Structure 1
Amino acid sequence: MRISPEELTKNGYTLLDRLEHSELIPFVVMYSKKKTIVSFTYNFLNVAFLLLLIFLIWRGYSEGFFTISAALIHLSYGIAMSFLLVPFHEYIHALAYKFRGAKNTSFDAHWKKFYFMAIADQFVAGRKDFKIVALAPFMVITSIFILSMLFASALWAISFATIILSHAAFCSGDFALLSYFEFHKDKELVTYDDKENKISYFFSRDLNTTNKPL
Structure 2
Amino acid sequence: MMTGQLIQSLREQGYEEYSRFSFNELVIPLREGLKSGNIYATSFFVVILTGCGGMGALAAFFLLSDTLTGSQMAGWTLACIPATLLLVPLHELIHGWMFRWYGAKDVRYGVIWKKLMFYAVAHGFAVNYRQFRYIALAPFVVISLLLIAAFLLVTAPWKALILGVMVFHAMCCAGDFGLCAYFYQVRHRQPLSFDDADGDVTYFYTLPDLKTENP
2:189/2:211 contact within 8 Å kept: no
The one-letter code sitting in structure 2 at the alignment partner of 1:29 is R
The one-letter code sitting in structure 1 at the alignment partner of 2:111 is A
Partner of 1:119: 121
1:5/1:192 contact within 8 Å kept: no
Matches within 5 A, 1:69-80: 69-80=71-82
What is the alpha-carbon distance in structure 2 between the residues aligned to residue 24 and residue 180 of structure 1?
A: 11
What is the alpha-carbon distance in structure 2 between the residues aligned to residue 35 and residue 204 of structure 1?
A: 21
- SS in structure 1 at match of 2:193: strand
Given the alignment of the two structures, is residue 38 of structure 1 paired with residue 22 of structure 2, yes or no?
Answer: no
How far off its partner does 1:128 sit?
Answer: 1.4
Partner of 2:197: 195
Partner of 1:86: 88
Q: Which runs of 5+ in 1 are unaligned?
A: none
For residues 92-146 of structure 1, give each alpha carbon's deviation from its aligned partner in whole angstroms, at most 9, with x where no partner exists: 1000100111100011211111111101000010111101100110001111111
Matches within 5 A, 1:151-162: 151-162=153-164
2:63/2:70 contact within 8 Å kept: yes
Matches within 5 A, 1:1-214: 4-205=6-207, 206-207=209-210
What is the alpha-carbon distance in structure 2 between the residues aligned to residue 186 and residue 106 of structure 1?
A: 29
How far off its partner does 1:208 sit?
Answer: 5.9
What is the alpha-carbon distance in structure 1 between the residues aligned to residue 184 and residue 90 of structure 2?
A: 27
For residues 5-28 of structure 1, give each alpha carbon's deviation from its aligned partner in whole angstroms, at most 9, with x where no partner exists: 431011111110001111122332
What is the alpha-carbon distance in structure 2 between the residues aligned to residue 138 and residue 91 of structure 1?
A: 12
The one-letter code sitting in structure 2 at the alignment partner of 1:84 is L
- SS in structure 1 at match of 2:195: strand
How far off its partner does 1:171 sit?
Answer: 0.5
How far off its partner does 1:72 sit?
Answer: 1.3
How far off its partner does 1:4 sit?
Answer: 3.6
1:31/1:179 contact within 8 Å kept: yes
1:5/1:122 contact within 8 Å kept: no
2:188/2:211 contact within 8 Å kept: no
- SS in structure 2 at match of 1:201: strand
What is the alpha-carbon distance in structure 2 between the residues aligned to residue 207 and residue 128 of structure 1?
A: 17
How far off its partner does 1:193 sit?
Answer: 0.2
- SS in structure 2 at match of 1:186: helix
Q: Over aligned residue pairs, what C-alpha RMSD do you find?
A: 1.6
Identity of aligned residues (%): 28
How far off its partner does 1:166 sit?
Answer: 0.4
Q: TM-score, normalised by structure 1?
A: 0.93
Paired positions, count:
208
Q: Which runs of 5+ in 2 are unaligned?
A: none
